[in-house]
Amino acid sequence: MAGKASVTRAGGSVSDVRVAVIGAGFGGVAAASYLTRNGFVNFRVFERASGAGGVWHQNTYPGAEVDTFSDWYSYKFKAHDWPKPHSPQPVLEAYINEAIDDLGMRGKFEFNSDVVRVAWNDARRTYAVELADGRSGEFNVVVSAVGLFNTPNYPKWSEGISFRGPAFHASRWEHEHDLRGKRVAVVGAGSTGAQIVTAIAPEVGHLFVFQRDPTWVLQKNDEWYSTEERRSRRNRYVYQWGRLRHAYAEQRRFFSGELFLAGSKKNLAESEAAQAYIERALGDAPDLKEAVTPAHPFFAKRNIKADGYYETLRRHNVTFVRSEVVDTSQDAVIDASGNSYEVDVIIMATGYQAADYLHGIDVIGRSGLSLHEYWESVGGPEAFLGMTVPRFPNFYMLYGPNTNIGQIVFDLETQSRYLVRDLKRMRRSGARALEVRETANRLYNSWLQSRLSRTIWVGTKNYHKSTTGKLVVPFPRASIQYWAMTRLFRTIAHKAV
């Protein structure tokens, strides 16, 4: 990167195409690895945080771990000796860093580099990438891998908070506070809230858990692998078999799309499993059982996968409050019924602004078109296969609109492969820019929205919707179908401009 006055020149020949990748989570590192392994070595990765890992760098809260099987929630090109089926945050962060080092890519990563503007230059056919600290550079291709769960959703009451003790968002954990013996409020009972509650309950003095709406919980049945199991899993056939087994199970689960339809046999069968878990854990505690049983269909909100969460709610030092927090005083939190609970620490497990794609980045395409304004004009974020947008040549998104498909790392690799195929096409044809056709984009998104309009996500309050109510996060089928679409449609949908 150069200072603002002296902008770096992009390579004139497509063979040394310069690529800017934004974000160094699973997505950015997937893109970097596909670029490296396919010979496109002229790239930089800009990451706002001080290190790589994305959500696995940021979320250091107690109990943070993945819900998806690690064999499957990992790169195809990099097997790993996981310590348990669902690995904890430090292991995932280390894994991503190892992937960077294995491929010798570390020198291409620029940390503490917050991208704020990406602007296409029609005449030069390049993007100017601008950083918050004033640095900028010129690139032929830009890949956004900024993820979905980075911008914390702070509750209204936290603005100008009068509470005198520590109060922080779960993804910005303040490790300097010792919680032992303290009265702690955990606000929010989603996946993160459930993990924190289960992890800290044994050590805090008293824990208040505030739940606005319940969510379906599935048992993880997670245990550390024995030394013997780890030894046998180091065999690559055993490992790949495990990976394949999980992949197959997940594809079967999502393939027909039936799981996403309210009242369908598949949906009811899964909610029955979740209901049975409530019965097992809380059958003899009718008030608690009723409080944690959701009214919404299974899968309409992100399910919780946890061991011991319901059991933790029954502990003598835990008070479960079936209400949202609406305010604080100097030493207490206040719920929607006006009840006040004196606490020493407040932890906000209140989620993220997931539907706010490319938050904080101004993306400018052909003829000065702003991506955020374009999205406003079509009722909310959308893209062809969640990756490319008409009039934004050579701009790719990983984990973009409607690509929260379920097998995220596999999907990120699918998208990285798609990007590399386009770069190879540019190299072969001599084209300096590719862009998705308006018609392809329109047809794809009308198919998508018509499928989504019949799903469980429509009638439920969840993070899948933009402010206009458009479903902009989920995909109504399985990863394997999404993968097939990326193989079938890319060549006809993208044109040289």
Ligand X SMILES: Cc1cc2nc3c(=O)[nH]c(=O)nc-3n(C[C@H](O)[C@H](O)[C@H](O)COP(=O)(O)OP(=O)(O)OC[C@H]3O[C@@H](n4cnc5c(N)ncnc54)[C@H](O)[C@@H]3O)c2cc1C
Which one among 1, 17, 115, 423 touches ligand X, defined by CB under 6 A? 115
Find the shortest distance in angstroms from Cβ 443 to ligand X: 26
Please say which residue, 54 or 188, places its beta carbon nearer to ligand X. 54
Residue 189 touching ligand X (CB under 6 A): no
Please say which residue, 92 or 456, places its beta carbon nearer to ligand X. 92
Which span sits near ligand X by CB under 6 A: 23-31, 155-163, 311-319, 458-466?
A: 23-31
Find the shortest distance in angstroms from Cβ 341 to ligand X: 25
Which span sits near ligand X by CB under 6 A: 21-29, 438-446, 466-474, 484-492?
A: 21-29
- Distance between CA 223 and CA 86 in Å, rounded? 9
Kindly write out the interface string for residues 56-85 of this chain, putting x where it contacts ligand X by CB under 6 A and - elsewhere.
---x----x-xxx----x------------
Which one among 14, 18, 26, 416 touches ligand X, defined by CB under 6 A? 26
Find the shortest distance in angstroms from Cβ 36 to ligand X: 16
Residue 333 touching ligand X (CB under 6 A): no
Residue 11 touching ligand X (CB under 6 A): no
Please say which residue, 145 or 423, places its beta carbon nearer to ligand X. 145
Name the nearest CA neighbour of 257 among 484, 487, 453, 460.
Answer: 453
**What is the size of the binding site for ligand X (CB under 6 A)?**
33
Find the shortest distance in angstroms from Cβ 96 to ligand X: 9
Of residues 204-243, which lie at the interface with ligand X (CB under 6 A)? none
Residue 433 touching ligand X (CB under 6 A): no
Please say which residue, 96 or 431, places its beta carbon nearer to ligand X. 96
Which one among 192, 267, 328, 350 touches ligand X, defined by CB under 6 A? 192
Residue 114 touching ligand X (CB under 6 A): yes
Which one among 17, 27, 387, 480 touches ligand X, defined by CB under 6 A? 27
Residue 334 touching ligand X (CB under 6 A): no
Which one among 18, 25, 395, 435 touches ligand X, defined by CB under 6 A? 25
Written as six digits, the tokens of 294 are 């959701």
Which one among 148, 185, 197, 346 touches ligand X, defined by CB under 6 A? 148
Pairing relationship of beta strands 183-187 and 345-348 according to DSSP bridges: parallel
Name the nearest CA neighbour of 419 among 390, 444, 396, 441.
Answer: 396
Which span sits near ligand X by CB under 6 A: 22-30, 273-281, 369-377, 465-473?
A: 22-30
- Distance between CA 140 and CA 125 in Å, rounded? 7
Residue 49 touching ligand X (CB under 6 A): yes
Residue 128 touching ligand X (CB under 6 A): no
Which span sits near ligand X by CB under 6 A: 148-156, 309-317, 327-335, 469-477?
A: 148-156
Sequence-distant (6+) residues with CB within 8 A of 418 are 385, 387, 396, 486, 490
Residue 462 touching ligand X (CB under 6 A): no
Residue 127 touching ligand X (CB under 6 A): no
Residue 87 touching ligand X (CB under 6 A): no
Residue 362 touching ligand X (CB under 6 A): no
Rg (CA), the chain: 23
Find the shortest distance in angstroms from Cβ 304 to ligand X: 11
What is the binding site for ligand X (CB under 6 A)? Answer: 22-28, 46-49, 54-55, 59, 64, 66-68, 73, 114-115, 145-150, 192, 360-361, 398-399, 408
